[in-house]
Amino acid sequence: MAYTDIDKATDYFTTFLWTGDGASTRSITGVGLQADMMWSKIRNVGHQHNLVDTVRGVNQRLLMPNESGAEDTTGTQGYFNSLDSDGFSLTYGGAGGYNTNRSGDTYVGWFWKANGSGSSNTDGSITSTVSANTTSGFSIVSYTGNATNGYN
């Protein structure tokens, strides 16, 4: 990767803290950028990590990078509805919902800027969707494997 000057790193990556208020839906602002990927974690309770991105779609589509399961689309623990121009919106999963907005719980989110919802890449034998930020050297890639050549 070629060297690039980044005058303001928070244009491409930032960390944001919030405290849950127990509301069933909530919009949070003040993140400082339009994120394309968010990795979040409750801070005061041992629980899964949550990862959402604009390439796969945000609403009720959580990856849990610290667990072995597939994408969670149930939303029973709460989920993120959208990544917005200066924050995000969420839905709380109720009393056992540690993922997003349980009253009094503290959360951290790490936010990355790629390049929106991505574009199709047909180079090679697998079609993928790619959202890349060449300035910061960050990208999100999604593909469906073809069950051959080691791709599942």
Write the secondary structure of the chain as one string of H (helix), E (strand) and C (coil).
CCCCCCCCHHHCEEEEEEECCCCCEEEEECCCCCCCEEEEEECCCCCCEEEEECCCCCCCCEECCCCCCCCECCCCCCEEEEEECCEEEEECCCCCCCCCCCCCCEEEEEEECCECECEEECCCCCCEEEEEECCCCEEEEEECCCCCCCCC
Question: Mean pLDDT, the chain, as a whole number?
Answer: 89
Residue 87 forms part of a structural domain? yes
Please state the pTM of the whole predicted model.
Answer: 0.88
Residue 62 forms part of a structural domain? yes
Residue 126 forms part of a structural domain? no
pLDDT given at position 4: 64
Query: Number of folded domains in the chain?
Result: 1
pLDDT given at position 3: 63
Residue 23 forms part of a structural domain? yes
Q: What is the mean pLDDT of residues 14-33?
A: 96
Residue 138 forms part of a structural domain? no
Residue 128 forms part of a structural domain? no
Model confidence pLDDT, tens digit, residues 52-96 = 999 999 987 888 888 887 788 877 888 999 999 999 999 998 877
Instruction: Find the distance separating the first CA and the last CA of the chain, reported in whole Å.
Output: 28
Residue 137 forms part of a structural domain? no
Residue 98 forms part of a structural domain? yes
Q: What is the domain range of residue 31? A: 13-112
Interior angle at CA 14, CA 88 and CA 76, nearest 5: 35
Q: How confident is the model at residue 24 (pLDDT cuts 50, 70, 90)?
A: very high
